[in-house]
Each structure stands twice: as C-alpha cells, then as structure tokens.
Amino acid sequence: MPQGILTGKMIKKAINLAKPSIFAILNDPKSVWRPKYVAINIAAPGLMTRYKTDIDAETKSWDPEWPKKKQFALIAEKKTDLSEREQASTREIIAMTPWLVQKGEYLYPGGVYCEDIIVSVSGAKGDTDEAIANIILAMIVFLSYQETTLRKEENRMIV
C-alpha cells in the first residue's frame, strides 16, 4: 500500500503529544476503576497494520483480581472492529443501533471514529477510555493538517 499523509510515525507522535493529558486523566481517581492503565488500538488510512500500544501511569503492581492486560488490548481491538465495520463511534452504535453489535463484541464506549480514523482505548472507565481516544484522535487530525500545510508550503502537492 502506498504511503499517504498519515504514517505510523505520525501516530506515535500523536500519542506522545497526548501523553501529558492521558497521564493527568489516569491519575485522577474519578477516571479509573483501579489500574492507571489503558490499551490503545488505532486503524487509519495509510497504515499497513493497526497501531497497538498501551500507557501505564504508574500502576505499581497488577492486582491478580484485575483482568489481564491482554484482555484490555483485546477489548480495544474489538472496539476498533465494531467502529470500522459500522463507521461510527462505539458509544453511538451502542446507544442508537445496538442490534449491530455482534457476538463477541462489547457494549463499552471508547472507540471513536472520524473519517476512517478509528482510535479505541480500553482499561479505564468507559467515559475515560472515550476521552483519551478523542484526545489521540485530535492529535492525529492536527498532525495530518500540519503535514498537509508543510507540503503545500514546500510545493509538494502530489501525495
């Protein structure tokens, strides 16, 4: 697949730009149910594969009572699957068209969709997951616009 405006490097930069806000959110006791941790799954035009990572804001030790971290990664991936298939955010799908949710998928918010960019987050509370996903999405869109402006200024009009 040919490289477009959006790249894996840009996704990584977007997450790095979002990290201060993500850490602040995860360190607010009202925003998490226990661990200060989220798994992130991103699908977007131009990416060869989904971008997967996680952020741990100082969870000292993983309580054996909590689900395994890989479970949160799976839930984030399932949120991405649902948003990609239905071309909508998971909150919208669950609230407006819940019959579209298929076996093995989750009734959790936290997958956001904007013009074929999907950012899904899992691990904190549903509203927290969604807020973090929206912050990352905003940074991806910002960096895409920034790259487009730079290319125009350099007269590199063909992508």
3 lies in some domain: no
Q: What is the pLDDT of residues 14-27, one digit of tens each?
A: 999 999 999 999 99
At 31, the amino acid letter reads S
17 lies in some domain: yes
Q: What is the pLDDT of residues 60-92, one digit of tens each?
A: 677 888 888 889 999 999 999 999 999 999 999
Each residue's pLDDT tens digit in the chain (159 positions)? Answer: 457 899 999 999 999 999 999 999 999 999 999 889 999 999 999 888 999 999 988 766 778 888 888 899 999 999 999 999 999 999 999 999 999 999 999 999 999 999 999 999 999 999 999 999 999 999 999 999 999 999 999 999 888
Domain count, the chain: 1
78 lies in some domain: yes
Which CATH number covers residue 83? Answer: 3.30.450.150
Question: Residue 117 sits in which domain range?
Answer: 8-56+66-153
